[in-house]
Structure 1
Amino acid sequence: MNEPSPIFVFHKPRGVVVTRSDERGRRTVFDLLPAWVRDDGWKPVGRLDLDSRGLLLFVHDGKLQEALARPGAHEKVYEVWVRGRVTDAQVTALRTGVETPQGVMRAKDVQPQGGTGAKSRMLVTLSEGRNRQIRRMFGALKDEQTGRALKVLELKRASFGPLKLDIESGKWRWLTAAECDALNHPATRPF
């Protein structure tokens, strides 16, 4: 297939795994994309867990995949709904480092966006993402009123570097030349 760009963006829905095939029979991102994506060896840049949704890039070139996925290469912003009230002190802790069973984890930035009742909405920016990092960071903290661990209810990757999620769940589109240039990697141009 003669693609117009070396990269496409996909809005991964919740309940779908980021893998070519799943031994447990769950739906994969490749089940939702055209057959040529699997057949021609396209690869996701990073992952989103089963319960997360949002922006996921796909590339055909392994070196480009490694470059885009390299820790610190591009910030990723997540919209997060949390069960529990997140305090200012906890926002600071999320930025400076939270002790989890997997070690200390921190976000580059955390911005409270309000909430309703015992639910908090946050924007979380990561410069490198570890497996289930956001869920683990919030889970290591407690709602000071109830004493229960905070729990991520909804997690959506809203942006990857300069790219913003602008398509419906389950849809995909090619990146434009300007978007590839904005990623600022030589392998993304010319195409």
Structure 2
Amino acid sequence: MNKTPNDSKELFALNKPKGYLVTRSDDLGRKTVYDLLPEWAFSDGWMPIGRLDLESKGLLLFTTNSKINHALTTPKNCIKVYEIWVRGHVSDEHIAEALKGVQSPHGLLKALEVEKMGMGGAKTKLRVKIDEGKNRHIRRLFGALKDPKFGTPLKVLELSRVSIGSFNLDIKSAEWRYLSQEEAKLLLENLD
């Protein structure tokens, strides 16, 4: 992909598919996000901003600028939106609990907003907003909630990040593109 004058020099987006690690290299030889990117992304030191675990997919931003990386990963600075499928029926009580927060060994895990988007069989589709991204935040948050009928933890079956701040994912799985200068400016102007 050729760079145009309107492209940000500091940010590009990848739509990460499942099954790729967000790391520069893996001792076990598993696929990493750099397998999806041009060679220069690795050699020029482009770093992922935040993480998505192996089973998660969706928006991942990359930068070479540590200030941008820090600003976008500082808690409370930037809202991230996820669409998830949860095994079981997510009740209003579950949603209230997720908004209030649950204690975990990783500290308080909570969502800013949880919106029910639909059901499919014994699964519930939710749109979840958070402003911090602790390790496996959403999976652990819903895993701490119990299915009232079976007493089993709710389980996130699918997780996809659809936006970070003002930037919404608009590219196909495994594709990448530069943010435009406008998109980068919008994304960064509300940060401290």
Aligned match for 2:156, one of 148, 152, 159: 152
Shift of 1:142: 1.3
Among all aligned residue pairs of Structure 1 and Structure 2, give the percentage whose two residues are the same amino acid: 49
Structure 1 residues 17-56: aligned runs within 5 Å: 17-56=21-60
Structure 1 runs of 4+ aligned residues shifted over 4 Å read: none
Q: TM-score, normalised by structure 2?
A: 0.92
Shift of 1:2: 7.3
Aligned CA distance change for structure 1 residues 186 and 139 (closer, same or farther; 3 Å): closer
Equivalent pairs counted in the alignment come to 187
- Residue of structure 2 equivalent to 1:126: 130
Deviations 1:54-105 (A, max 9, x none): 0000011122211222112210000000001111011000001113343321
Aligned match for 2:140, one of 128, 131, 136: 136
| Runs (5+) with no aligned partner, structure 1 | none
Distance 2:64 2:140 in 1: 31
Native 8 Å contact 2:118 2:124 kept in 1? yes
1:63 counterpart SS class: helix
| Superposed CA RMSD | 1.8
Distance 2:146 2:18 in 1: 25
| Runs (5+) with no aligned partner, structure 2 | none
Counterpart amino acid of residue 22 in structure 2: V
Aligned CA distance change for structure 1 residues 97 and 66 (closer, same or farther; 3 Å): same
Counterpart amino acid of residue 104 in structure 1: L
Does 2:73 align with 1:79? no
With 61-70 and 168-177 compared, the bigger mean Cα shift is at: 61-70
Aligned match for 1:12, one of 11, 16, 34: 16
Aligned CA distance change for structure 1 residues 186 and 92 (closer, same or farther; 3 Å): closer
Deviations 1:104-158 (A, max 9, x none): 2111111111212310110110011100010011111111122221100000000
Native 8 Å contact 2:73 2:133 kept in 1? no
